[in-house]
Each structure stands twice: as C-alpha cells, then as structure tokens.
Amino acid sequence: MLTAFSFIFVLGILIFIHELGHFLVAKKVGIKVHKFSLGFPPDIISKKVGDTTYCIGLIPLGGYVKMAGEDPNEVATGDAGEFSSKTIGQRTAVILAGPFMNYLLAIFLMIGVLYFGGTPIFDPDKVVVGTVSKDGPAAKGGLKPDDIIIAIDGRPVSDFDSLRSLISPRVAESIQITWVSNGDTITKPITTKAHPIPLPEGNYDTVGVIGFKQKPLRFEHPSLASATVDGFVTVHVIVKETFKFVKKVVTGKASAKMIGGPLFIAQQSGKEAEKGASSLFFFMVLLSVNLAVLNIMPIPILDGGHLLFLAIEKIKGSPVSMKARAIAQQVGLVLLLTLIVFVTYNDILRVIKGL
C-alpha cells in the first residue's frame, strides 16, 4: 500500500506541475484549452468548466493539455484562440512552460529538503546503529537501534567508513561482529548480503552489506537563505549530471540498461517513503529534473520535438507542413512506445534479480 500510494503521489505531483505549466501559459497568451488531463483515459473523473474539460485518467503514467489547433491532423481555421495562430515566441513559451515548471519544482523541493530535513551529524568516534532493515542480516543477528558496533572480525572500528571498508569486500560471507547493547558486549557471526551497485556500462558491482543505517547525533538546519542557495546549486549539479548521462547513453558510453521505468519508480518511491519525507522528496527532485530534461529532447511527440518544429519554422519562415508534422508525430510515438517497452523490460529484470 505504501509503495502504491507513494508512486501515485510522486507521479501525480510531477505530472500535474508539468501540465499546469503548459496550461497556465496557454491561457495567458489566449489559447483555448479543450482538455486538461492528469493521467490517461479511461477517465475516472471529468468535469467541464468554461471551455476546458478537467479529467483524472485511470492510467497514472502521464497527462496532457489539449489545445485548440495543436493537433497536426486538424485543419487550422485561423481562429485567434488556436495554438497555430500565436507567434513563435508565444508558442515556444507554452511548450517550455512544462519542463520549466519541473525545474522550479525541483528547486523548491530541494530547498525544503535542506531547510526542514537538515544535514545529519554523526559521532566521529563510534558507530551507533540507527534504523535496521527488516529481515536483513543485522536484524537476524540481533542488532538493534542504539547498539554500538566496536569491531569486525576482531578489528576495532570507530567510524562508519572504517566499518564499511571491512564489510563491503565480504560478499555473502560470515563475519564476526562485536557490539555493545545495553552495557553488554556481544560477538556473533553474521552473514553479509550481496548488494548490487549499477555501473555506467550496464553491469553491476556487488558489495557486502548487513542492512543498517548509522544513527546521527543531531541534524543541523541551515538558514532559509543558505538552504535556498544550496538548493539552487544542488539542482543545477543534478541537471548537469543528467545531461551528461543522456549524452553517454546516446554515444554508447553508458548502457541504456541504467534507465528506469514505471516499475522502478514505483518500487523506489516505496523504499524512499519508508526512509522518511526527506528521502522521498529528494527522489522527487531527481525525477523532476529527469522529466524536464527528457521532455526537451528533440524527439517528436515530446516538448523538444515541438521546439524543433518551431526552430525550423523560424529558419524557413513558414510552418512545417501538417503532413510532415503528422509523420514525425507517428515516428515519435513509435520511439516513445519502444522506450517504454524497453525500460519496463529493464524494470522486470531488476525485480527478478532482486535489485
């Protein structure tokens, strides 16, 4: 239930904000909006207000804003309320508004994560157990929150990095862990669990884990001004890294197997929700940036495809023909459906492999 709710919440917010951007700017420049839909048909809820029908679709994997004169299969009438009747600048603003709203949402959420979530400060001299993964090796071995781990295989550990360096190389191996619990010193063998780490080439490295997180001493909360600056900078780092990853995938330097789809988003949403609000909202930051970047790619049917048509129109001095636009839209739809099938296949393999 938590996974399903988190998935709908995350995608619902991201899609709503994206489509709201298109909708608001379209209305601002005088374009008639026939339909504003959150989700795809069949519709669960539908209500017409003025010229616009507002809908919530049963399939929560996207949304759309249907504007007058936008469909290449429709013949433009020249009405002032049609998309095609507006200037190139106005149409560009309408198209860019969706990705831009996702960009703004990412900044807003990142500021909130930093300001309200704070930065965890850990004890530099000891490893205190925080949350313990249910049914993980640590839980089965008897480790509990507030226990203090003092040695791995008889080697003293005083910080999390030294502990991780001793555990990570031991994949699915039994190790002796010594910890203090309520004043008692306990030593038990615990078998590590293999944990896969994705590599850019599409393969996976494997490390050993026992399934717990370190407990912070406290959280330091920055000022709103500091959180705003850091949030802005952090999002731009994420944007830069996202573009670099897309470039690597296109040039073959990174595997497309790294791309996640709906199942991955649903699964990860549930995991992040279990960690707490800060983790879930940071995951939304990553998705919002990815959604913005993906949508401005010059692929027909995506926002970037529409921007490409407008650039061609600006250069040649006349709109791209309806026939050419319709063909490009069909090609774009095939590419998009192929991508959806591919990432869903990747997601299924991840689930089967337990990744």
**Angle at alpha carbon of residue 181, lines to 159 and 175, rounded to 5°:** 60
Give yes or no for a contact between 214 and 129, defined as CB atoms under 8 angstroms apart. Answer: yes
- Which DSSP letter does residue 215 get? P
* CA 288 vs CA 50, 56, 108: distances in Å: 30, 20, 11
Burial label for 331, CB within 10 Å (0-12, 13-18, 19+), is middle
Active site residue 19: yes
CA 355 – CA 352 distance, rounded (Å): 8
The 3-class SS string of 7-60 reads: HHHHHHHHHHHHHHHHHHHHHHCCCCEEEEEEEEEEEEEEEEECCEEEEEEEEE
Choosing from 19, 70, 82, 272, the catalytic residue is: 19
Phi, psi of 279 (to 5 degrees): -65, -40
Q: Which residues are catalytic?
A: 19
